[in-house]
Amino acid sequence: MKINKEYLKRLLLYLKPYWKRIVLSFIAMIIVGALTSLTAYLIKPVLDKIFIAKDKKMLILLPFAVMATYFFKGLFTYIQSYQTMYVAENVLFNIRNQIFKHIINLPIGFFEKFHTSELLSRVLNDTERLQYTIAKVMPEAIREFFTIVFLFIVIYTIDFKLALISTIVFPIAIYPIVKFGKDMKKLGRKRQISIANITTLIQESFFNIRLIKGFITEDKETEKFLKKSHEFLNINLKSFRISEITSPLMEFIGSLGIAFLIWFGGLLVFRGTISVGGFFSFMAGLFLLYRPFKTIAKASNSINSSVGAIERVFYILDTKPTQEIKPNGYVFDGVKDSIIFDHVSFTYDGTKYALKDINLKVEAKTIVAFVGESGGGKTTLMDLIPRFYDPTEGKILIDGIDIR
């Protein structure tokens, strides 16, 4: 799971104004992790003190302890979820506004390079995916990480040898997360591009519906859409296969370790090395470890898929305007004297000239008609006046003032 460090730093800047809420969320995550582990540990006194030792005092205290544990776990889970959602929604609000403001101020050439549907995908889909990662995926992964830490403390406290044996299986279980995570990152990028391509095709088809009807190309357009949809389907199915195989594989690897632990733990119970309550509390801790590892595995895949969205968002924000807007420029109030093209040349791609060494003077309050074949440069000439583009060479003067 690799993400450009510069992008990560910039993403953290969006989170910085909400650091208090993030700290509160982290505290809530730690408490939830600790309380989840406590539910496993409470099994030991429930079995040993109530059902085996028949301790009446514990019969009264432990049910209240269990209820209190789950009450506070639910409370702090709510606090954590609300805080992270609040931060994520505000980050989404800020990024979406910034990217729209940035795009709307870019020159016409940018909009010719990127199709409208692709820009829509970046403003809406990519930012939405980023918001989901911040609000849901990352907080759950961090919370489950704390849960894993506390559960390991519980199982090592109950029996060190059993815990040491159980730890061996977890590095093996981590391998699928690393392997499939790389694949999910690539598929995440392909998926976002595929969505943009489909959106582009739909928009072009609906916009040019008269041409499609006039030339009877409905079947051709349908075939093109089917091809793009099929590509998107294959990407989603492959992503689904990778995502869904992770959990069963981890389950199987975990079952091998659990089967051995039941056998070995049973021997320890027979020898009196560990109590019945201690063994069942230990096993409960192990079973509770499964969900956090499964969540982190899925989170890893989801975060890798989101890396492409993050890169696409910042790519747009990093696109620099090609035109310089001077803050102390003149306010245009109509042409008073003339418009002059002084040795103006222009090229779109830096190689082929659309206009070459144009010298022209148009007096105020006169009408001039430009006539010529398509592609002769008439539209380009007009686009230079309102500065949709700037001349590659030369300058344009309105009332003797360079329009730049």
pLDDT digits (tens, 9 = 90+) for 57-111: 888 888 999 999 999 999 999 999 999 999 988 988 888 888 888 888 887 777 7
Query: What pLDDT does 72 receive?
Result: 95
The type of residue at 254 is G
Q: Exposed/middle/buried for 394, CB within 10 Å: 0-12, 13-18, 19+?
A: middle
Percentage above 90 pLDDT, the chain: 12
pLDDT > 90? residue 25: yes
- 5-317 CATH: 1.20.1560.10
Query: What pLDDT does 225 receive?
Result: 87
> How far apart are the C-alpha atoms of 239 and 301, rounded to whole Å?
9
Sign, Cα dihedral of 197, 199, 200, 205: positive
List Cβ neighbours of 368 (8 Å cut-off, separation of 6 or more).
362
Q: Which two tokens stand for residue 388?
A: 């949709």
Query: What pLDDT does 102 receive?
Result: 84
* pLDDT, the chain, mean: 80
CATH-assigned architecture of domain 338-402: 3-Layer(aba) Sandwich (3.40)
| 366-384 mean pLDDT | 77
| 16-27 mean pLDDT | 92
pLDDT > 50? residue 258: yes
pLDDT-wise least confident of 13-22, 118-127, 165-174: 165-174
pLDDT > 80? residue 256: no
The type of residue at 151 is L
> How far apart are the C-alpha atoms of 325 and 150, rounded to whole Å?
57
Tens of pLDDT along 333-342?
Answer: 667 777 887 8
* CA torsion, ordered 147, 148, 153, 158, to nearest 10 deg: 100
The type of residue at 334 is G
Query: What pLDDT does 365 receive?
Result: 78
Query: What pLDDT does 19 receive?
Result: 92
Q: Which two tokens stand for residue 311?
A: 């890169």
Tens of pLDDT along 202-223?
Answer: 878 887 888 887 788 888 888 8
Query: What pLDDT does 182 receive?
Result: 66
DSSP letters for 145-180: HHHHHHHHHHHHHH-HHHHHHHHHHHHHHHHHHHHH
Query: What pLDDT does 150 receive?
Result: 92
Query: What pLDDT does 2 receive?
Result: 52
Tens of pLDDT along 133-176?
Answer: 888 888 888 898 999 999 889 888 888 888 887 777 666 666 66
> How far apart are the C-alpha atoms of 19 and 29, rounded to whole Å?
15
Query: What pLDDT does 1 receive?
Result: 47
Query: What pLDDT does 54 receive?
Result: 85
Q: Which of 141-150, 249-258, 361-370, 393-402 has the highest mean pLDDT?
A: 141-150
* Residue 378 or 38, more confident: 38
Q: Which two tokens stand for residue 178?
A: 């690393």
The residues that bridge with 393 in the sheet, in sequence order, are 345
Query: What pLDDT does 174 receive?
Result: 61
Query: Would you kindly state where each structural domain of the chain is located, as residue ranges?
Result: 5-317, 338-402
Sign, Cα dihedral of 50, 53, 56, 57: negative
| 277-301 mean pLDDT | 81
pLDDT > 70? residue 322: no
Query: What pLDDT does 20 receive?
Result: 92
User: Do the two domains 5-317 and 338-402 of this chain adopt the same fold?
Assistant: no
Helix (H, G, I), strand (E, B) or coil at 184: helix
